[in-house]
Amino acid sequence: MKHPMPLLECKGLVRRFGALVAVDAVDMSLEAGRIRALIGPNGAGKSTVFNLITSALKPTAGEVFFAGENITALPVHAVALRGIARTFQLCHIFPALTARENVRIAAQAREHRRWQLVGGGSVLARSAAVADEALEHMRLTRFANVRAALLSHGDQRLLEVAMAIAQKPRLLMLDEPTQGLSLEETDRAVQILKDLLSNGNLSVLLVEHDMEVVFKLAHDITVLHRGRVIADGPPSAVKADAAVRSAYLGGSE
């Protein structure tokens, strides 16, 4: 699907922490319906870019545009309401609530009457229906009434993805969805994500360490190294890129 204007556009993003330049003049864009992976060695600034896009951190310089709107200065919750859903590198869920309640709260964020103080049965029921659908996508239906704290680590990560898709986002941002998973769990998660993304309705920005996962899922890849973009293109081109190879293999510059 061609779009005249990219869904997400980062222009000259810079973020300094004291003397450290974590993100340095990063330009990146994402067209609607595409899956872009953001990769790079440890400390390359991937998570910082993530946090700059979602407003969890404010950039030292540069701007973020979403669907043509400058969202750089918006508070975190407002960015989410524009249609950006994210997962966290360290799983963020509601441990004492059941899986369905976790996802239901996520779905409810889209409701106009989410503020309703008393009653609100219809809001809760609608949100629960969206939640059940999202749980089904992540193959978690049988855990719907299980407290999230009791799920395996792999299922907790899928639960967080279920929460994100229940937000019905225009842009889904996944921060290392397979981190800490066993090989089998990773394969399963990748398969589930692949099924989810196969219809092309979702636009995705993915941070991932595991190269195999990236090559299985992404259409485009942006490679970060020491806060800078060193490569940008389809997987085949990035795989062959000399700068990427040296960055990953730890070769000198």
Partner 1 sequence: MIRGTSWKAALGVTAGVCVLLPFIVPQYSLTILIEALIFGLFAMSLDLLVGYCRLYSFGHAAAYGLGAYSAAIILTQLQLPLPVGIVLAVLVTMVVAVPIAWICTRSTGVSFAMLTLAFAQLGYAMLFRFRDITGGSDGIVGIPRPSGPLGMTWFQGKTGYYYLVLGCLFGSYLMCRAIVRSPFGAVLSGIRENEAKTIALGYNTRAYKTATAALAYGFGGLAGALYAAFAGFASPELFFWLVSGRVLIMVVVGGAGTLIGPILGGVFFVFIEHELSQVTDLWPLIFGSIFMAFVMFAPEGIWGLLTRRFNARPELASADAGNETSDAAA
Asked if 156 and 148 count as a contact pair (C-beta separation under 8 A), the reply is: yes
Q: How far is the CB of 231 from partner 1 (least distance, A)?
A: 29
Give the nearer residue to partner 1 in terms of CB position, either 78 or 242.
Answer: 78
Nearer to partner 1, 49 or 231 (CB): 49
Sign of CA dihedral 85, 89, 91, 93: negative
Give the closest residue to 73 by CA, choosing from 88, 83, 81, 62: 62
Label residue 49 exposed, middle or buried (CB < 10 Å: 0-12, 13-18, 19+). buried
Q: Choose between 12 and 95: whose C-beta lies nearer to partner 1.
A: 95
Least Å distance, CB 4 to partner 1, is: 27
CA distance 237 to 215: 11
CA distances from 191 to 37, 48, 98, 171, 198 (A): 17, 27, 24, 20, 10
Q: Which residues pair with 85 in a beta bridge?
A: 172
Q: How far is the CB of 77 from partner 1 (least distance, A)?
A: 5
Q: Which residues bind partner 1 (CB under 8 A)?
A: 54, 56, 75-78, 80-81, 85-86, 88, 92-98, 100-101, 104-106, 108-111, 113-125, 127-128, 145, 147, 163, 167
122/182 with CB nearer partner 1: 122
Decide whether 110 or 226 has the Cβ nearer to partner 1.
110
DSSP code of residue 112: T
45: closest CA among 180, 243, 222? 222
Beta pairing class for 69-70 and 20-30: unpaired
Closest approach, Cβ 105 to partner 1, in A, equals 5
The one-character DSSP state at 142 is G
Q: Which is nearer to partner 1, 154 or 169 (CB)?
A: 169
Q: How far is the CB of 42 from partner 1 (least distance, A)?
A: 23
Nearest approach in angstroms of CB 94 to partner 1 is 4
